[in-house]
Structure 1
Amino acid sequence: MANLKLGLIGIVHEEAKQDFWGTMHKVAHIGYQGIEGGEHLLEGDVSANLKRFHQLGLQVLTVSASREQLQNDLDRLIKNAVALKTSRVTVWWGPCESKEQLLRDAELYNVAGARLAAEGLKLCYHNHDHEFNSSFNGVCALDILAEYTNPDHVYFEVDIAWVTFGGGDPIHVLKKMAGRVPAIHVKDLRSLHAPAQFTAVGTGIVNIQDAIRTAMETGVEWMVVEQDRLRNLTAFETIQVSYLNLKEAGLL
C-alpha cells in the first residue's frame, strides 16, 4: 500500500497570477508534486513551458471542463490535455435539480467519457455537498450519477470535505467507489453547523487521516490539497502547514 502523491489546487492562484514560475518553484520546494489547473502553460511555447514545469518536479494533473465544454468543445479539451501530458479532464460542478436532469448529465458524461477514453484520458466528476444532501426516491445524487455512468469511462474526484459537509461519510464513499477514484481533494472544515468555513488541512473536523488511508487501500493515486477560502494564514503559509500536518500524520 503506497502513499498517495501530493497535488495542489487553488490557494496560491493569486500569487501565480503575479509570478507563475516563482510560485511554482515554492510549491515544488515545499513538496507538492503536481497541480490541478495548468492552463497557464498553454501560453507561449507549450513544449518549453512543460519541460520547465517538469524540471521542477511538477505534473499537470487535470484539465478543467464545464458540462457545456464537454458538449461543444471536446476537441479542444482533448488537445489541451494531450499538450499538457495530463491523463484527466475534470468537471468541477454539476446541478442536482431532479433525477431526470441527473440522467441527462450521466448520458453526457458517458458520451464524452467514451471519447476521452479513446484518447487515453479519464473524465472525472468532482462533487460538492449538494450531491449528498439532494436525493430522489431515497437515493443521493452522487449515487445516481455513479449508477448510470459507465465505470470504464466516467470517474470521480471525491472531495472529502464536501462529502462531510453534505452529511456523507468519505470513507464509505471511497470504499463504495473503489476503482473509480483516481484522485481526492483533501481539505478541512472548522464546523458543520454554518456555511462552509475552511481551515488548513489537519486543523479542522474532517476525518482526513482515515479518509486518506482508505484512499490508499482503494487505489487512489493522488491527494490534492485545497482550501476554498483562506482563514488566518497566508496562501503560502496554508500550503506549508497543510503539507507539514500531512507529513506529521505519516501520510506522506
Structure 2
Amino acid sequence: MLLERTRLDRRGFLIAGAAAVTAAATGAGAAARPFFAGKGLPIGIQLYTLGPDAARDLDGTLAAVAAAGYRTVELAGFYGKTPQQFRAALDKAGLKATSVHVQGRAMGPDGGLDGDLGKLSDAVLAVGATQAVMPSPRIPERLGLRPAAGEDIAGWFRRVLTAMNADDWKENARFLNEKAAVLKTAGVRLGYHNHNFEFAPQGSTTGIEILIRETDPALVTFEADVGWVAAAGVDPAAFIRKHKGRVTMMHVKDLKASTRPNFELRMDPTEIGSGEIDWKTLLPAAYAAGVRHFYVEQEAPFERPRIEAAKISYDFLAKV
C-alpha cells in the first residue's frame, strides 16, 4: 500500500512538473499577469485629459492623478508655471514627467519649435523629461494661421488640416528633422503625435506615411494616438506593427462604436475599456513593436468628472 501510494505521488509530481514546463513554454503563466505589471511599465497620463482642472488647481489635480495610481505624466503645457515650478509640483505629488508636447508654431508663453531651441530644451529637461512631441503639424501660411471672420476655432482647425497636401507633409518632415537634430545635441528627443487627418489619402499615400518615410529614424520618433488611428478606420495594431521601431510612445485612447471612420477630427470618446479597441491584443503588439511609453488620454466631451474618467481608465489598464 505504501509502495503504491509512493508511486502515485511520484506520478502526480511528474504530471504537475510537466504541466508547469508546458505553461512556461506556451506563456500561459505570463498571460495571467496584467500587461503593465508583467512588463514593469508605469501607466502614464497626458495632462490634456485634465486640462481645465489643472489650469484651476495644478497641485490638487496632480495629487488626484497620483491617488488614481498614475506615476508618469506627459505635459500639454505649463499652465502658467515655470518649468521649475511645475517640476516642484510634480515632485510634491510623487509624479515624474517623461514627455512634453510642444507646438510647431509658438502659440503662447510656452513657446514652440520655431523659437529658441536652447531655451526649449532647458525647459523640457528642467521639468524632468527628455522627450518633446509636436502634437500636430505646422499649418502652411497660405491656409491662414487664424480663423477667418465668423469661423470658430474648431471649424478653422478642421478646414486647414484637411486641406494640407503632400508637399505640406514633406515640409513638416523637413521641419521635424531640422529641429530634432538640434534638440538631440541637448539630450532631448523629438517625436510627432498623430490625429486622424494624417491618414487622409494623398495620392497613393497618406500624410502619416510621408512623415514616417521622410523623417530620419535616428532623430524623429512617433507617438501613436491609437484612438485617432482607429477613428480614421485603421487598425492600430496593424499600423504600429507596420512601423516597428518608429513608434515608441502611445496615447491610450478609446472610442465608442458610434464613431464613424473619418479624417475630420471627429470621434465619440469614452474611458479605456468602455469602447471598441481590443486592448488585450493591442498592448502586447505595441510593446513587441517597440512602444515603451503609454499615456492615457481622453477627449471631450466627458460623461463624468475628468478625474473619475481617468481613474476608470487606470483601473482597467492595471488589470488587463
Query: TM above 0.5, one fold?
Result: yes
TM-score of the superposed pair, with normalisation by structure 2: 0.71
**Which has the higher Rg, Structure 1 or Structure 2?**
2
Aligned position for 1:109: 176
1:219 aligns with 2:290: yes
Rounded to whole Å, the distance in 1 between the matches of 2:196 and 2:307 is: 27
Aligned position for 2:19: none
Rounded to whole Å, the distance in 1 between the matches of 2:97 and 2:312 is: 22
Q: Greater RCO between the two (CA within 8 Å, min separation 6)?
A: 1
**Over aligned residues, Cα RMSD in angstroms?**
2.1
Q: Contact 1:66–1:92 at 8 Å: present in 2 too?
A: yes
Q: What is the SS of the residue equivalent to 2:224?
A: strand
Rounded to whole Å, the distance in 1 between the matches of 2:100 and 2:307 is: 23
Q: What is the SS of the residue equivalent to 1:158?
A: strand
Aligned position for 2:158: none
Q: Contact 2:77–2:102 at 8 Å: present in 1 too?
A: no
Q: What is the SS of the residue equivalent to 2:240?
A: helix
Aligned position for 1:15: 53
Superposed CA offset, 1:17-47 (max 9, x none): 222112111111211112221744883681x
Rounded to whole Å, the distance in 2 between the matches of 1:109 and 1:140 is: 17
Counterparts of residues 128-207 of structure 1 (less than 5 Å): 128-132=195-199, 134-190=200-256, 191-193=258-260, 195-207=266-278
1:209 aligns with 2:280: yes
Rounded to whole Å, the distance in 1 between the matches of 2:248 and 2:187 is: 14
Structure 1: where are the runs of 5+ without partners? Answer: none
Over 3 Å counting, the alpha-carbon distance change for 1:231 and 1:53 in structure 2 is closer
Q: CA deviation at 1:237?
A: 1.1
Q: CA deviation at 1:188?
A: 0.9
1:77 aligns with 2:120: yes
Aligned identity (percent) is 27
Structure 2: where are the runs of 5+ without partners? Answer: 1-37, 106-111, 138-160
156-165 vs 134-143, which moves further: 134-143
Superposed CA offset, 1:38-70 (max 9, x none): 744883681x65255235331112222222222
Partner letter of residue 247 of structure 1?
Answer: A
Aligned length: 247
